[in-house]
Amino acid sequence: ELAQRGWDTVGLVGTRFTMAEDFITGPLRDRHRVQTLVPPPPVQGEIQKIIYDQLSVGQFDDAARDYFLGVIDALSSQGAQAVILGCTEIPLLLEGVQCSLPPVDSLDCHCQAIVRYILDEAHPGPGADGL
């Protein structure tokens, strides 16, 4: 998704673990030359609290939505061209809402990649079987 759109700097919001650890930011940087911006630690803590205390139990309110939109605005002002929504509840919270950055739903991207993989495996192209 990022390569298709030509984005080389993106924001990332998700659980504290997702934002603080290198398992997403590292491969994006090292393999794809994409810089990933994350909120500062205090903001990561508040995002974590909202995800676990509210979103994970189905509570989606305007205050949480406004907080995430503010975080996304801050990432935009730092140079992000899009924002990765790295937690399944965040796209639900922001559904139908206009963001300052194009959102990239990580779950949707994974599902699309799985379908492409399955279709390629089920119907290999010419020469894939060695003939």
In this prediction, residue 122 carries a pLDDT of 64
Query: pLDDT of 6-27, one tens digit each?
Result: 999 999 999 999 999 998 889 8
In this prediction, residue 68 carries a pLDDT of 97
Residue 131 within a domain:
no
Rounded distance between C-alpha atoms, residue 86 and residue 24, angstroms: 9
Count of alpha carbons within 13 angstroms of residue 33, beta-carbon side: 3
Rounded distance between C-alpha atoms, residue 41 and residue 19, angstroms: 9
In this prediction, residue 43 carries a pLDDT of 98
Instruction: Label the pairing between strands 35-37 and 9-13.
Output: parallel
Residue 10 within a domain:
yes
Q: Could you state, in chain order, the average pLDDT of each consecutive group of 10 residues for the chain (131 residues)? A: 88 95 90 94 97 96 97 98 94 94 80 78 56 39
- Containing structural domain, residue 75: 2-122
CB 56 within 8 A of CB 15: no
Residue 128 within a domain:
no
Number of structural domains (the chain) is 1
Residue 127 within a domain:
no
Residue 130 within a domain:
no
| CATH number of the domain to which 12 belongs | 3.40.50.1860
In this prediction, residue 44 carries a pLDDT of 97
pTM: 0.83
In this prediction, residue 105 carries a pLDDT of 82
CB 19 within 8 A of CB 38: yes
What is the chain's mean pLDDT, rounded? 89
Residue 36 within a domain:
yes
